[in-house]
Structure 1
């Protein structure tokens, strides 16, 4: 266990009564770092706790095992700190990882960060880009509108050393207006988490688990099924999206994936190829003969993952037919 994990286990073991005096002696950064370690600690066996904290063996041995997670951490902090402070701490540790605000920004997707920054003053954006890693700044800059990006570049070229009070103000604005909102919006519904996991199951396992879940909780099963994105959902892509996807995938894998696809989905892919390319792909598929369902599932999963990556990059729009996000032309 790292030193942070050991400290987190100790504070969880001490609880609010014995730990209050220690919490009051920590500064904000220490509270955040300790809270982050507590929230990701997981289950710690009592014997491990006793070995690590012999001075506290009498208190810890009666605890048995304990679980460190976001809920337990928030519950403990709520007993010792003001509500608004607890909310700020929890939203920060739920957001992108990093000790400082600039570390955290380095873990934010460049498209997400650029979407926020394009509404800020060019001078503010110049300060932000000068504080994050050059490779991340380059990625963000390339996503910003060209005219705005050039204005930011000019500000950076003319920028003098930034005064601490201005830097603190920019950091505080980022924390309150961007990072906290990002943490709130990035919390996943448990059904969404299960849907993402189920997307990686082979077809037989997916059916088995969904059927079992339906027997126990029909409403949850329906929500998970609605959130899942499958190979068949690619038929919602427009022609431009299909052509973009075709340029990004291995044609051999596509042929294998289409062996298990509906005629409608096959036609969508074939119609977005040249006549010659479609003919070759059809011949290749026919030459494959019988193929294992497992191999088809793996090929389909690969292509779905490529489609998701393209969607995250803003190159295509995925709109599954089971949601309210379906596009209407």
Structure 2
């Protein structure tokens, strides 16, 4: 807007905003930066009375300015991505967000928090103890816990001790640390197959029969103990349910299953399978649990293959819920 009314540009903006505030349905001030919002509020504090002629002139000038506008753009990455929506590929969107974060135009911690576990562990293993302590302080608890568990015992102790020094860090320093860590993350090797080999092998063995799974793990133990341990940690089977599933999630899992499948899965005779069945039943309503027990007893003796297939369907249902973020598996314990 030109300046023919005797008011500064900020004062004119304050007049327009004051008029808009009378309309409860008008919003948008939150789109301004914090600095702009502060300047606008400060300008309004210093203003008291604007006569009707000046008000009308400001409105006329503002409307003339709007009419001269041909097209507008969001003026920021988030707004641009929202405007483009699904017309932009996920890869292109990711590249834009990554470039903006590295250039310091967006919060680097947003991208750092989305890094896969292996990348976070690689950063935590290679960066300085102080940076790692800040990273763990900023990450979501689950990601921080998984990263911490991936460290060697000596490094984990050092990071834990350094955590006490993170409380006094300033927002600007935390942002700089985030940029350093993000740049280091971008420099990490990008594997052609993103899923770790241990996770892939574990996922495959999830659906193998128990005897085949034990045979494969035994063979792996003979050739590469560390790899075998990693595969064991990646495996999630029916027997792991009491240690990896939250009690509150049991009813949600049961709703995903056909009742005959669930009844067969609860019929395992191995000690660990019996414990898993008891865990499931103990976290259902008494009426439902009693009904499932009665159906289980009525089945009589089942073929081991039928029981294994039913247990696999339970595990598949849990994995589906995990993939859609409807539940979160607890981290495996060292003795699993």
Give the TM-score taking structure 1 as reference length: 0.45
- Say which one has the larger Rg: 2
